[in-house]
A and B are shown apart, each in its own frame.
Chain A
Amino acid sequence: MKTNATTSSVKASAEPEAEVSASSHSISASEALFVHLISGLGLGLAVLLAHYVFSVNLVSHPSLTLRLIWVIECPIVILLYSRYRKNREDCSYLKAVGRGLLGLPVGALVSALGAIALGTPVGTQYFSKTISWSLMMSLFTIVPAASVFGVSWKDWQRIFAHTKPVGSVDLIICLPAHGAVIGAWFGAWPMPLDWERPWQEWPICVSYGAIAGYLIAMVASSCFILARATLQHVKRD
């Protein structure tokens, strides 16, 4: 009851200013769906490329495959999301791209540290795998936010701590990021089982979990955006 009350109060206080900021960089539903579609296709392309051109997959060559994924996904994510940067007046497209590029290693560092705290194996043989994995996680989570928000702490807090996306841009950043993290968390659970399958190794099943979570969350966010669009449509009528 009490938490509900505080939530609503926060919402109420956040709404007016959010409305202002959201309206400035809210995007149409079709555009949001397009972003998700391209990101998803990029992911698919990377996996297909790995499979058919390099004839590797996540299980046989995790490090190489993950590298392929992040190399292909990196320009897609940064270029796409930079288009929806906040404060277009003060921030050029190139600056947003730069922020995204800067966010990539920082996000990777954060994901790697988090993974190590949770129990990622540490050792020379895992070094390149961990780096590739955390770069991929960074692209799923931190980089879009870095491109869009830059150093606006308030926005970061809203997305990652409060999880209160306002507007479609927030949605397409917030939901996939959370989906990827939660998916990765669940993906870690089969690791200790004694099935002795090659995919139980770090970071294969965690990557599967992250990718699955990311895709599901993208679908969910698309649904949200569509629902929201129809609702607004109805309201306007």
Chain B
Amino acid sequence: MQKWWRSRKWEQTRVLWLILFLHVAAILIFTRGFLLTRTELPYYSHCSDLSHSPCFSSSSSSSSSSSSNSSRCWTKPAVDRIVIIVLDALRFDFVAPSAFFGESKPWMDRLKVLQKLASERGSSARIFKAIADPPTTSLQRLKGLTTGGLPTFVDVGNSFGAPAIVEDNFIHQLVQNGKRVVMMGDDTWTQLFPNHFKKSYPYPSFNVKDLHTVDNGCIEHLLPTLYEEDWDVLIAHFLGVDHAGHIFGVDSSPMIEKLEQYNDILEKVIEVLQNQSGPGDLHDNTILLVMGDHGQTLNGDHGGGSPEEVETSIFAMNFKKPPLSIPLEFDSLSCEQDLDRRKMCISSIQQLDFAVTLSALIGVPFPFGSIGRVDANLYALGAGTLDLEGTDIENCENQSKLEQWMQNYVNVLCINSWQVKRYIDVYSASSVIGFSHEDMLQIADIYAQAEENWSHSTKRLLLQKNECSDSLLPALKMQIDLFVNFQTSVAELARSKWTEFNLNMMGIGFGIMLVSLLIHFFSIKRVTRQHGASVTSCEDSGISFGLIVACFVVVIRASSFLSNSYILEEGKVASFLLATTGIVKLRYSVMKKRMLLEAVVFLLLTTFCRFTIEVGLSKQAATSQFLNVYPSWMMSIASGIPALVYAAEVVPLLVLIFLAYLLYKTISSSIFEGVWKYVIMGAILSYMLIAVHWASESSMWSLALVSYGIGRNCIPQIVYAIGFGQLLLLAYGQVFNKDKCLDCKKNLIIRTVGMLSTWSPVVILLSGKQGPLVALASIIAGYCIIRLDNIEQDGTSDVLAVDPLPVTQWNLLAVCLFFCTGHWCAFDGLRYGAAFIGFDEFILVRQAIFLTIDTFGFSHFLPIFGLPFLVAHQYMSSKKQFILMRLSQVYMIYGLITAATVMVTMLCVTIHRRHLMVWGLFAPKFVFDVVGLILTDVLICLASLFSFGQVEDDVPQNESTEK
């Protein structure tokens, strides 16, 4: 008997499961094309690894001086110290002379000291055009610069909340090999490398409006540190240009002031370094790098892949005297006459190559995950002064400097190629989504060719280099070409894998989504038809006004996502539309002269919603740091005015007690029996506990009864436990408790109230003190929607088709609640604090669950579990099949609205995939929407299983009576 019911129940929800499955498939496929993912490998390079490579033997045997060999690891150190000055968002045209561009702009030629050095001392100082890979955000770029990889939007393996780099990287290698690193400036570095720096002077980077704090901090420490001996690598990260760009744009006087300030600082730094660069001095073998992490557009935006954003600059200068002339034939150079009619050449470098080139210069192992190539020009700048094997001169007088240098470089490239090949092999072996087999074969082929050439001809030539031969130079060149060829193809493959969208995948995912939407639509129609035939002979009601308004609202909201401005203001748009539907309903109620009060109250509530959303949006402008200071928006308003502070403490408690009272009133009415009564009593208890918890936390009352330490974690834990117990009770009631309630509508209400009272305490607790207010507002708004839905029905006729307008309103209300509770569609909009209510220690799964409940509690959990009210309160008739039909229709319409919105979001990210804000705005919005959709589907499935179960209870009875 029971089995039969169960199967029927599953049959009812079969369509919902099918839709869930389709959505998951569509989203997975689409995401694989759109959100590029990469697995972080936990492997590190070590000095000893080199014995596995084909290159080591050559360098060891060719080296006659064992003393120098002992200090070397993978490559011979070419420089002793590195000074890296990072100027955030340094456009290429900030550094390069204006002669390189068509016309001179106000912001060009401001860093004159760099241009002067580059043109005067072309052999030891050079400007490079550095090409970054998108996403061009500081965090991703610093990661790319230090790991030599291509960070994607989602790096699988990223630790929760903390951005620390766990992959092998340049800084890690420095520390491992006994180099001392000093850092000053942007605190992103200390977030990425929490324990790596010997000394660090971090300054907060979150306040974009502050142009000077970070820079002044840097300046304060930079010059004194240059005189100190206790470091090998110095990193100074200036943020002023980035912030000036964000606020004022590139063409503005603050930007020019900043650039001129930097010019002065750089002048001083170079002066200090030059004065100390004599033999035996502090900086006798130091290289200075002035570089940007990414560019910016004229508006100061960055993040995307436009040329303005990816083109930044590196200025490199070697202070060793005298500079040697170095070969310049490996890369395409562009040369122009600068202002003083001097010829200046600028070569191009990939940011990808930065980590490995620096590692080679300072002589540490290359980061394990680096896919860059040791850049010939930058390496030459540092290693051109390399005191190549001292034995060479006596052996072969006619061997040119160039040949020596190339011997060294080819060995470095050999090591480099071997390291890249190793990474690619390990990556495809261990990653979930590796490279394709054909690609791997091709790569292996190219590598085998290069390696064969290496071990068969070049190595032999190198070993025999004591006997001078003319064939050496062409052979070296060919070998270099082979290695470069290999590395270029690897980089190409990696780029296509990690930075290029797969449009086919995206198209397929979108297509599946479209199909699911059609299925959704037709199944709604089908349900209507099926039950329409069985219940009453009711002709299709055609297109009603409500349907038109609902479609219009959904379409307008969906199409608003095509512009980034509307995504930013999504909360306002939702409340605008909600208020519009409210006005439409008001018009109805004026027409029918009924329920005017409800319509007006609903409008007032939308106004309330609208103001809270605006508070939330203003918070969005600031960053997550702000959230930590003010746990909820109420406090942010209230701070300052004592009466308001008091109100902000008291009002939530009063509202909470009122909610508990409402529930108490509900159970005192007789329809609640058995299990359900206990569930609701549990909720009341939870409310009371939360009230006590907040009261004990607040500074205003010093409740002696609850000591701080116990109360803080104990009460939330009890609340969670009660919530869990309630869920168990509900499950018990679902499976075993077969109370044959004759009125199935009442039964539905009981179940819905039970479900809501299970979830609401936890949601309220997690969302903080705004929780009770929002809960009360949503209860009233929901009540108004339900009441207003009844306007058109006279209560006598059973209209079959569900009016989609109330469901749309319900959906809009849910969206508004998401923004009301201080969330927004960005990862810094997540309220991480909520994950730690009741627990201090971090467990990924538990905290992730809490974060999900906090984020989607008011906008998904409660509205969807509350949907049956829309059906239950509506009809005088309580025929089981009738209610069942309405219920599944309501669920499906709700799902359809959400799915349609998400589909347009998918379309929009496809259109805007090359947009500036794709990583800053569209991708987070996509992730939130997609998670929300899946959650909605799952919740709808569960909720309909739960509510159908009850209706099914009575079906056999019903059928038997019919017989």
Chain A interface residues (CB < 8 Å from chain B): 1-4, 113-114, 116-119, 122, 157, 160-162, 185, 188, 192-194
Contacts and interface: CB of A to CB of B under 8 A. Distances in A.
10 contacts: A1-B541, A2-B539, A116-B607, A117-B582, A117-B603, A118-B576, A119-B579, A157-B591, A160-B587, A194-B564
Contact of A161 (B579, B582, B590, B610): B590
B583 interface: yes
A117 B565 contact: no
A194 B915 CA distance: 14
Contact of B580 (A3, A118, A122, A157): A118
A3 B542 contact: yes
A3 B590 contact: no
B573 A192 contact: yes
A112 to B, nearest CB: 12
Nearest to A193: B565
A192 B325 CA distance: 58
A206 to B, nearest CB: 12
A85 B927 CA distance: 59
Contacts of B566: 192-193
B573 A114 contact: no
Interface of B: 539-542, 544-545, 563-566, 568-569, 572-573, 575-576, 579-580, 582-583, 587-588, 590-591, 593, 603-604, 606-607, 610-611, 799
A194 B579 CA distance: 23
A113 B606 CA distance: 12
B604 to A, nearest CB: 8
Contact of B591 (A118, A161, A188): A161
Contact of B572 (A1, A3, A119): A119
B607 A117 contact: yes
Contact of A157 (B573, B583, B590): B590
A138 to B, nearest CB: 16
Given A3-B544, A119-B579, A192 B607 contact: no
A3 B603 contact: no
A194 B591 contact: no
Nearest to A1: B542
Given A3-B542, A117-B610, 9 more contacts: A3-B545, A4-B542, A116-B610, A117-B582, A117-B606, A118-B579, A119-B575, A160-B587, A161-B587
A12 B882 CA distance: 34
A190 B563 CA distance: 11
B568 A119 contact: no
A192 B582 contact: no
Nearest to A162: B591
Nearest to B541: A2
Contacts, number: 59
A4 B541 CA distance: 10
Contacts of B564: 194
B18 to A, nearest CB: 32
B579 to A, nearest CB: 4
Given A160-B587, A161-B590, A161-B591, A119 B544 contact: no
Nearest to B571: A119
Contact of B576 (A113, A162, A188, A193): A188
A56 B450 CA distance: 75
A2 B541 CA distance: 6
A119 B541 contact: no
A185 B549 CA distance: 14
B246 to A, nearest CB: 14
Contacts of B591: 157, 161-162
A45 to B, nearest CB: 32
Contacts of A161: 587-588, 590-591
Contacts of A2: 539, 541-542, 799
Contacts of A162: 591
Contacts of A160: 587, 590
Nearest to A3: B544
A162 B564 CA distance: 38
Contacts of A1: 539-542
A4 B542 CA distance: 10
**Listed residue (A114, A118, A161, A193) with the most chain B CB atoms within 10 angstroms of its CB:** A118
Closest A-B pairs by Cβ, 3 of them: A161-B591, A192-B569, A161-B590
Contacts of B572: 119, 192
B397 to A, nearest CB: 68
Contacts of B593: 157
A113 B607 CA distance: 9
A102 to B, nearest CB: 20
A193 B563 CA distance: 8
Contacts of A194: 564-565, 568
Contact of A119 (B539, B587, B603, B610): B610
B909 to A, nearest CB: 18
Contacts of B588: 161
Contacts of B544: 3
A7 to B, nearest CB: 10
Contacts of A188: 576
Nearest to B604: A117
Nearest to A194: B565
A3 B548 CA distance: 13
Nearest to A115: B579
